[in-house]
Structure 1
Amino acid sequence: MPVQRLRFLCLAITVALSGLAAMPAAHAQTRSSDIRFQSGTSQATVTGRVSGRQIDAYRIGARRGQEIDLNLTSRNTALRFSIEAPDGRGRAMTLDGGRASSVSRYTGVLPATGTYVVRVFLDRDAARRNETARYSLTVGIDSARPPSPPPPQGGTVTYMRVTGLRAGDTLNVRQGPSTANPVLFTLDQGDVVASLGCRSFGSGSAWCEVYRPDRPRSVGWASSRYLAPAARPDRPGGPDPDRPVSGTLDCRFVIGIINQTCRYSARRIARGVHEITVQLPGRTRTIRMEGTRAVSSNGNGPVFSVLRGDVVDVSIGALELYRVPLSALGGR
């Protein structure tokens, strides 16, 4: 059995065993319809309502290698969804399921050509109580695209170093930005690669398009979680990575004031670990970064981070936002 098909079969079994209570009830009433995109568009939004054991099923035609993005919103936290994909023989298997606590999202590269089915339904307990849920479902599909070529010689690139792996582990570089895609090659702890850019793919997940400097035509995608900015590997005598850097960054720390500029300083405290100090009126905000991920701060509330191109958006609680440039983390 091909490895990719086996991977999706294992995922389907995992979902089936761990989410029986969230799957549609037997003998449910299913309403089916097709989602079609208007000419020149690649996104469509549908609204609906399910009650009790009702299921809304939406059919979507797509090709292997295309990227699908689903957003489901509802006020009812008992609402669920599943995504089923053809496996090449006309059968279907569940790829993923979600919980719509105000918003539920799935993004991934499609593994096969055929008809995909998105089912929206209430969990078993809510169905037994005959609850009702109104929802909005947005579906977007991007065209399949080949790997981007590296920039021309002399162009500006960002270099990234592999970090955060456990002893003996390697980092997979895949054909597309999803664990569903086949592995092209692997990287070891400390390896340095050139990056063509990073993108977020739902739920805060971010992937970087990378290649080895000595193999510029072998381009793939790696999780940004294990990549940290690094100096250009073939530039001896470059800037000292332990030397503190300073500058300004975009920030938000007052209700109603969104676009502000704050002074910051950054210093490396360990390999791949940086401490960012932001100057605020009458106080400072300290953020600890491991690679491109914010892990802690001296502020109030949880810390979240998302890699967006050449900056990392760091949110602290519901109010504060700091856009940390990769150059502050050792990127060049």
Structure 2
Amino acid sequence: MMKNLLMALGVALLVSAAAVADDTRTERVHFKKGATSATVEDTIKGYQSVDYVLGARAGQSMNVSMATDNSANYFNILAPGKNDEAMFIGSTSGNQFEGALPANGDYKIRVYLMRSAARRGEAANYRLEMIIND
């Protein structure tokens, strides 16, 4: 009986994690011709998150900053080929990143709400600026 209960709990956790993961929207970021930056303004609510994907080369400099009306709203940066391992974690480092990029490829800037705010169904309006220079 205990084994069945543990198995049912495990399945419920997997379904919950999948439901949260399914609430991630992906948007490709395109810089206008000759521009080195792009800005997006959007809103997320609850467990929603957005992956902004932009291509860059190793050695280029990336600067990302976010202004938001919710103190539980952050972004992480994931290097090419990484899905769950962030090279920058906003909740511990703040809403400003500047640094040289380690690899060629698509970087994800994942905008999200902390779980405590998501659980309460809070929303966040944000403005995300992304700059890439040689």
- Taking structure 2 as the reference length, the TM-score comes to 0.80
2:118 maps to what in 1?
Answer: 127
Q: CA RMSD in A?
A: 1.7
Q: Partners of 1:104 and 1:57 in 2: how far apart? A: 15
Q: CA deviation at 1:59?
A: 0.4
2:100 maps to what in 1?
Answer: 109
Query: After TM superposition, which residue ranges in structure 1, 4 or more long, deviate above 6 angstroms?
Result: none
AA aligned to 2:70 is: N
Higher relative contact order (CA 8 A, sep 6+): 2
AA aligned to 1:116 is: Y
Is there any run of 5+ residues in structure 1 with no aligned partner, and where? 1-24, 144-332
Describe the superposition over 1:59-79 as per-residue Cα deviations: whole angstroms up to 9, x where unpaired.
Answer: 010000000000111010010
Structure holding more strand per residue: 1
Q: How does 1:257-296 map to 2 (within 5 A)?
A: none
AA aligned to 2:120 is: R
Q: Partners of 1:74 and 1:42 in 2: how far apart? A: 22
Q: CA deviation at 1:80?
A: 1.6
2:88 maps to what in 1?
Answer: 96
1:319 maps to what in 2?
Answer: none
Q: Partners of 2:78 and 2:47 in 1: how far apart? A: 19
Query: Aligned to 2:58, what secondary structure does the other structure show?
Result: coil
The sequence identity of aligned pairs, in percent, is 38
Query: Aligned to 1:127, what secondary structure does the other structure show?
Result: helix
What count of residue pairs does the alignment treat as equivalent? 114
Q: CA deviation at 1:113?
A: 0.3
AA aligned to 1:139 is: M
Structure holding more helix per residue: 2
* Bigger CA radius of gyration: 1
Describe the superposition over 1:137-161 as per-residue Cα deviations: whole angstroms up to 9, x where unpaired.
Answer: 0000001xxxxxxxxxxxxxxxxxx
AA aligned to 1:98 is: G
Describe the superposition over 1:85-121 as per-residue Cα deviations: whole angstroms up to 9, x where unpaired.
Answer: 02xxx34431011149xx7200010000010001101
Query: Aligned to 1:94, what secondary structure does the other structure show?
Result: coil
**Residue 39 of structure 1, aligned match among 25, 33, 41:** 33
Q: Partners of 2:100 and 2:29 in 1: how far apart? A: 18
1:75 equivalent to 2:69? Answer yes
Q: Partners of 1:120 and 1:91 in 2: how far apart? A: 16
